[in-house]
Chain A
Amino acid sequence: MYNIMKAQKYQLIRDNVTYYIMLAGVIIVWIVAIMITEEGMPLDHMKGCGTITDAGLNFYSVFLTLIFTARICGDDIKDKTINYEILSGGKKSAIYFGRLFTSIIMGVIVYLLFCVLPVILMTAVFGWGEALPVREGVIRLALGFVPVLRFIILFAVITFLTRSSLGSVALGFILILGESLIEMMIQEDFLPININKAAPFMSSASMDVISTYNYKMDYINGEDVQVLKDMMPVGTIAMIVGSALVMCIIVSAAGYAVFSKKDMD
């Protein structure tokens, strides 16, 4: 499995598309930042802690990981180079989980670049801010990867089952939008479900819980500001991490069960 991961790394580093996606990602972040500023929310107002909660970068990194996961798990199936791995004695478990772990590592890189780095840069330029204690910010930033991980596993399994990177991106996109729509309906009380109770079953709901848990608008010193009412309880953290791990194990095991039985034509 380690050899397959190393081969994937070799391939990704030499693939121009990897750099194009990253570059496009950075450009889009800049465009969004400019748009936010022009709509009357100066970046200096957001500061470092606001970047964790308000910028929606977690959600953005999900889209980028979708593209990378689809490429890592789907491209070799499309051009059949994955067959060489079986023909040279590679086990299907190594082939499957090697790509899954490579996708996770790529997801970590994307998360660091597009979620963690902006927080560091914003903090360096405008300061951390008052709305969120640093410890709580770090916890939420670390926890932010958990729903991204859930999405990566799901995208990887979809790619292995559809055997198409494009099909997987399309399905993944629909899935993200679908989940977001449901989450929005929960938040707007169109659905009689508590967002905390939906979080174990929906990645986007857990993402929302991490960003906005007890983080509410308040009126202080004559202006609307966001403040943290309470720290995130350990039980909620355990629920988010535990449910994510359970879902990751179930989804990846089910995906492997199907992949291992399927012929590689």
Chain B
Amino acid sequence: MSDILIDVKNFEKQYMKKTVVKDASFQVKEGMILGLVGPNGAGKTTIMKALGGLIMPTGGSISIFGETSEKGLAHSRSRMCFMIETPYAKQNLSARENLEKLRIQKGLPDKSRIDEALKMVGLENVGKKPVKQFSLGMKQRLGIAASLLSKPEIMVLDEPVNGLDPEGIVAVRELLLKLNREEKITIIISSHLLSELSQLCTDYIFLRKGEIVEKISSEELQKKCHDYYRIDTDNNSLVPALLRNKLDITDIEVEKCGAVRLYERTDEIRLISKTLYENDVIPTELHMHDANLEQYYMNLVGEKDVQYNESTEVSADS
């Protein structure tokens, strides 16, 4: 996981003088499964489109496989595959005909790859049924099959499980994990299903209103996502110092309202509350919070403002 395959520096995109992505910088290393997380309009698809060459950056630079020129980037993209927005397909052609057209257009000599790709996504038995008769889930699978046609080194997938049934979602997840582990394909993926991303991604980029608010690995995220006690008292300003000085607790966060999040020694809550009482600080709220990617996302990207302590990398306001 040391080779940098994609290097985006200060990427900016404006439409009609409206900035939709601002100063985005990130790197994608070999073997990563990078999740782009953010609400609608955060800039996920814009970044993916820029990687795919569908839109031109209005600022910054994009390097893929070390190439930065238009010609070099076009060549690099032949080693990648993309599924952006709804999968594109000719509606009057069958799944096989769509893939055959794509194979001809890409200049791929191996026809058997079409059968392999269709089998991988479970569309091997759809016959000559035109794509216009496909369900959204089938179209989504066809989009993934199209992505797999050329044995890519990097896959860029925008909402790949959108419209799939639970079985389909699991199948796609397992397929992507298999491709990442066995074929060493690096993956960039966006999804609204955060639980899905949490089972896939090795790294995350959180976006809000066109800006990257945090880049974090799944290990770091897991560390941050562990359960915590939320302590609200009648005198919150004293709590951090009390916890530090009396109980030697340092892993805490202070919310904007002053309430404290306690991440360590959560099994000693009786001792903690006793210590607060003894120092004339009366807890008004003291309860356990389950934290996960969704919670983390809501805190970071959502409207809820949270001010982190010095141990947190980026606050929601940054």
Contact = CB atoms under 8 A, between A and B. Distances in A.
Q: What band does the interface of chain B fall in when counting residues whose beta carbon is under 8 Å from A?
A: 20 to 34
B37 to A, nearest CB: 22
Interface residues of A, number: 25
Contacts of B150: 88
A87 B81 contact: yes
B92 A89 contact: no
A80 B86 CA distance: 10
A14 B101 CA distance: 10
B91 A79 contact: yes
B88 interface: yes
Contacts of A6: 104-105
Contacts of B113: none
Given A10-B101, A79-B90, A87 B107 contact: no
A14 B94 CA distance: 10
B190 to A, nearest CB: 15
Contact of B78 (A15, A79, A89, A263): A89
Contact of A80 (B75, B88, B101): B88
B88 A10 contact: no
B54 interface: yes
Interface in B127-150: 146, 150
B77 interface: yes
A16 B90 CA distance: 13
Interface in A80-96: 80-81, 83-91
Contacts of A194: none
Interface string B77-113: 1111110110011111100010011101111000000
A264 B49 CA distance: 9
A10 B104 CA distance: 8
Contacts of A15: 92
Given A79-B90, A81-B89, A263-B56, A87 B105 contact: no
Interface in A148-193: none
B88 A88 contact: no
B101 A11 contact: yes
A79 to B, nearest CB: 6
B143 to A, nearest CB: 10
Contact of A89 (B54, B75, B88, B89): B75
B170 interface: no
A4 B97 CA distance: 15
A84 B105 contact: yes
Contacts of B66: none
B90 A86 contact: no
10 contacts: A15-B92, A84-B88, A86-B77, A87-B54, A87-B80, A87-B84, A89-B76, A89-B77, A89-B78, A264-B55
Given A10-B101, A79-B88, A79-B90, 12 more contacts: A3-B106, A11-B93, A80-B85, A81-B90, A83-B52, A83-B88, A87-B54, A88-B78, A89-B75, A89-B76, A90-B105, A263-B54
